[in-house]
Amino acid sequence: FPHLAMDSNTAPLLKDMLGPDGQPRVCDQVWISSLVGPDTSQELFGRLTSGYGARRQLKQNEGKIGPEFTFGITIQKLLQEPVLIIKTAWGGKSLHTDFRPPSAGPFQFSPQHLEQLRRRGVDLEVAKKEKAEAQGRYYRLMVEHVQNTLQRLDRIPDYDRQQGFELAGFVWFQGWNDMVDRNVYPNREQPGGYDAYSRLLAHLIRDVRRDLDAPEMHFVIGVMGVGGPVENYIGDQQRYRDVHDNFRRAMATPLELSEFEGNVSAVFTERYWDAELAAVDDKLNQVNRFARQLRQDNQKEPQPDALSPEELQRKVDAYRAQLLTPRDHEILIGKTNAAYHYLGSAKIMAQIGRAFAQELAPALDAAD
């Protein structure tokens, strides 16, 4: 959180995230039910605060946040109504299999994919059976969690059963596992290489509205933005430019369908990528590469000339000190994870959550 205070653009947002005691705010009018951990039956429920981000175990609260924290704070401020967030966030899942919507039909292996499996010695019949069992599982779990939560609204103090509730908005923020899957999307470097993802996402929107009996529910698509705007890619990033650009376009494509006009919108999360923090992450990667190369070269040296572990570490430390500036060390507090997890940055996640709410709230006001 302190990383937000280092930027005049996000310092005001941090004030919304903290209570009078300087600790993460606990929201009076925003509640959350979230499924966490590898066991899909583990639910966290309570007033919204920090700790509803990634958890390895149910009782292991590391204070992490995803977009849900500032989304809840912002949407409640804009609507001035009680809010319940129902969250599912299983990592490492695809839309083509794990969240595959029912109306999309069964997963079909491409000839290239089957050939690749065959070369690896995989039993194709077993692979097809396992795929059939896996497809749509997390879609069904997601829908079930929403339905189960809505049947237990009496857990929320002051909930007025006669007034009821409105299932008003849905935010979809996913994509990495589809984007990197060359077997499912073999032409991903080419324009239209992710057209199948666009079709799946359109099916998802229709099916969720149908299965949750919410035909008017507004959808916000969080378009993946790891790496920032592709026009700013430099160095090694440039080799991913076409893939990332094509996938982002595919995520936003459902907006072009007439049936989704005015009821589906998108937030391009690349706008909230922290280029400064990413540059420091690149420097850390350079340090790691230097250390690996140093160890490899050292192993080739005759034993009397080889450096001790302590000597190796001193060389790595010296290289790191030479590469990183005082400012780099200051902002490193903002990085807690890998780049493909948005650097584990509260600053990035907080801005994304706020943007989701700012995109959704006007649509809800218009509907009212």
CA distance 48 to 32: 6
pLDDT at 256: 97
pLDDT bucket at 38, cuts 50 / 70 / 90: low
Q: CB neighbours of 86 closer than 8 A, spacing ≥ 6?
A: 32, 33, 34, 145, 146, 149, 150
pLDDT at 168: 92
- How would you label 338-360 residue by residue, b for 16+ Cβ within 10 Å and e otherwise? ebeebbbbbbbbbbbbbbbbebb
CA quadruple 67, 69, 74, 80: dihedral positive or negative?
positive
pLDDT at 236: 84
pLDDT at 40: 67
In the sheet with 218-223, reading across from the earlier edge strand, the strands are 169-172, 218-223, 264-268
Helices and strands in the chain, H and E counts: 13, 6
CB atoms within 10 A of CB 368: 9
pLDDT at 288: 96
169-172 vs 218-223, strand pairing mode: parallel
pLDDT at 368: 64
**Residue 32 near residue 46, CB atoms below 8 Å:** yes
**Residue 139 near residue 102, CB atoms below 8 Å:** yes
pLDDT at 57: 74
Q: CB neighbours of 211 closer than 8 A, spacing ≥ 6?
A: 102, 143
Q: With the CA atoms of 332, 334, 337 and 339 taken in that order, what torsion angle do they form, in degrees rounded to the nearest 10?
A: -90
CA distance 172 to 208: 11
What backbone phi and psi angles, to 5 degrees, belong to 218?
Answer: -75, 135
pLDDT bucket at 37, cuts 50 / 70 / 90: low
Residue of 331, 359, 361 lying closest to 346 (CA atoms): 331
Average pLDDT across the chain, whole number = 94
Expressed in angstroms, the distance from the first to the final Cα of the chain is: 35
pLDDT at 61: 86
In order, the DSSP letters of 107-150 are: ----HHHHHHHHHTT--HHHHHHHHHHHTTHHHHHHHHHHHHHH
**Residue 30 near residue 77, CB atoms below 8 Å:** no
- How would you label 241-263 residue by residue, b for 16+ Cβ within 10 Å and e otherwise? eebbbbbbbbbbbbbeeeebeeb
CB atoms within 10 A of CB 264: 22
What percentage of the chain reaches a pLDDT higher than 70? 98
pLDDT at 58: 75
Taking only the tens place, the pLDDT of each residue in 312-352 is 999 999 999 999 999 999 999 999 999 999 999 999 999 99
Taking only the tens place, the pLDDT of each residue in 142-200 is 999 999 999 999 999 989 999 999 999 999 999 999 999 999 999 999 999 999 999 99
The model's pTM is 0.94
Task: Read off the pLDDT of each residue in 9-28 and give the average, rounded to a whole number.
Answer: 96
Taking only the tens place, the pLDDT of each residue in 114-151 is 998 999 999 999 999 999 999 999 999 999 999 999 99
The first and second tokens of residue 233, run together, are: 């890619």
Residue of 235, 233, 217 lying closest to 225 (CA atoms): 233
pLDDT at 39: 63
43-47 vs 30-35, strand pairing mode: antiparallel
Answer with the residue of higher pLDDT: 240 or 55.
Answer: 240
